[in-house]
Structure 1
Amino acid sequence: MSSDHSSPTDDAHDGPSDDTHNAFITDASVEGDGEGPLAGKTVAIKDNISTDGVRTTCGSAMLADYVPPYNATVVDRVLEAGGTLNGKTNMDEFGMGGTTETSAFGPVENPVDTDHVPGGSSGGSAAAVAAGEADLALGTDTGGSVRNPAAFCGVVGIKPTYGLVSRYGIVAYANSLEQVGPLATTVEDAALLLDVISGPDDRDATTNDGGADSDYAAAAHGDVDGLTVGIITDLIEGADDDVVETFEASLDELEAQGAEITEVSLDSLEHAVQAYYVIAMSEASSNLARFDGVRYGPEGDHEGNWNDAFAAVREEGFGPEVKRRILLGTYALSAGYHDKYYKKAQDARAWVKQDFDEAFEDVDVLASPTMPVTPPTLGESLDDPLQLYLMDANTVPVNLANLPAISVPAGEVDGLPVGLQLIGPKFGEETIIRAASAAEQ
């Protein structure tokens, strides 16, 4: 095993020498165990997933020198399946962002067009796969952070049902929302990686055997005859016209292969983005309290006032977007505002879940564009956080409802990729993989 350890700079990283898109933060080579379904394949790991002896920075100066003493469960499963870990991928700091521009290690370029962002927060993982720098990759999806970069980089990304994949060893952003998910160039390869990483884990009480006896790779057979696909009209209205046209063309292809296309409306989605950010930021405020210069983070000066030392460490270690989300989350949880914001957000979350459950009584799969826009140019989004948050409108409802979803390439607009998002009922991964493989063909 080899790895490099150094502090971040704005324009340097310690990834592979051929990493032309800044997709990697740390170069590493960890060989898998013998022959298995991933034998001969390289797997890039997002840098908020713990790797024994290989630093795990979360894209933050706060953890620039942190080296975990253990592997996340998903990493152990990749190695046991014969995969070779070939590096830790760049990401938005602590997963907070949708363009991989908030990383302390510099932004990632989109391999499709280097003037554009790769999406985020798992942008490094998607870029590594799209550029051929890794056969497969793992990301984490809190509000679209696997599907967003998959769509923007023209690859496949799966967000599993909450509880299907262990979160043990993941540096938490928002515990009730995030899941580890695979990225690959084909639906079958993404499904194969999902087969490897899914399943119960004694070290994570949120996991269960909901996917028992599933064979996700075998589900990528492309037969959608008789499948009912519901277009979520609420997620079409705010999308760019060219994106909608490309999305509709991909559905025409599914219809030509025997799928039935219908329209569905979910009234609750009007409030999904607001509810998501209140919940996610509140959980982030709690999770990131441990980065205080004592438990984690650069060692502070604790000779004087504790509050001053605590503030100094966080001022130095966190970037602007992380600070913004901690402040907003702390405010939402504070006395006098908990019921006004956090409780209402949880009520909205329950409404979103109910709407999805009712929709799946009539359809097998729900569909929307993965992202309502094509990849923005680098630097375009950083000055307008609100627009960045609204870009997640099509992906965050899935996380609120703890459902599975996949993004598969649907086509291009002006040379930039557009993704088709297919959403399934709880533990309906085989169904969405089946539909996505047909769309891929």
Structure 2
Amino acid sequence: MFPADHPFRIAHFRAYWLSRLASTIALSGMSIIIGWQVYGIARQTMPIREATFLLGMIGAAQFVPLFVLTPVVGLAADTFDRRWIVRATTALVTLTTATLGILTAMGRIGLLPLFLAAAAIGIARAFAGPAYSALAPNLVPRKTLPTAIAVSSIAWQVGSIAGPSLGGLLFAIHPDVAYGTSTALFLVSFGLIFLIGKVPQPQSQPDHRPLARIVEGFTYVRRNRLVLATITLDLFAVLLAGATALLPVFARDILHVGSQGLGLLASGMGIGATATAFFFSFRPMKANVGVKMLTAVIVFGTAIVTFGLSSWFWLSLAALVVAGGADMVSVYVRSSLIQLHTPDAMRGRVSAVSQLTISASNELGEAESGLLGALLGPVGAVVFGGVGAILVTILWSRLFPELRLAKSFDPPEILAVPPAHGVTQP
């Protein structure tokens, strides 16, 4: 089914990919479940706008530990065995999920344990993200690295977008089913990582200058304008136009479709992302990658505006499908450029910087959506964000011509800036 040089031909990579997919589905599914429960509890005593603000604070609860830990986690991924970092964080989220499931079944769930669980998820994601991202290139030969990076990003993106749809649908069946499935997926992910044997990794550098090594990661991103452009474009576009956090509001109080409709709405972006990811797994992008990323972000913003203005459920769902597909194009380009332009010895730290911006756009974006939802109402917040994403994309095409002119993923052809001091190009 796969070509002879495809990374899925490598057993260790298959175990890695399935582990990341299972973990990401469960983790993102937990985010929608926690959000639905927080909003439901808040609406018992609060009006829509105040409950919307509280819902956004779930994103802040996940972002704060990730923001604080980012300098440490990148260094950890470049120093310690990346497999054990993933195993430890998977154990943490498994315990967290099982605890919430028990509390829900006992009827003792409340805002405090839900916010504590969100913080625990933030800690786990802080460490697991750079470790997962930096581990993929260690599992395949150099010639298959571009495909491996793309396929690896597909596992993360499809899982992060498809997970909420599964979580919403299972929670509509019964909370026990949702929590039980998430726990089982984490256990599967945990077991699969143990199937990966010893892999090559940069030697630990006990040079007693950890702060300098941390700064190197940020410096490398700042000096490489193409990497900087892709990271920051995604940061501001999704920060402004992320509508996922407000899906419980739209499902319950605007479209009036309940938790069943919430699951379908959440599946919309998953459908679009999965279709696009499947296409790229067989037909990798090769030409005009920069222009295609810019176009995809504009399509994403337009789809979000359509979702915000729609009062018809099926149009809202279709808009989310389009948004998911466009977002997958952007993630595919960004992830490939970042990994291919970063030396292996720095991939953990650069991945940590990338993850910080991703989390800022996702989790901090949820807080921003909650705040704007409280000020402008949920519809106004979503429309404002979609328009903002379009304007940012136009501005970035002017500020970073390197992105607009990027023709392929090959560093020698599209990288035209000198590396940071002390860092060599891959």
TM-score (norm 1): 0.28
The structure with the largest strand share of the pair is 1
Structure ranking higher on relative contact order (CA contacts 8 Å, 6+ apart): 2
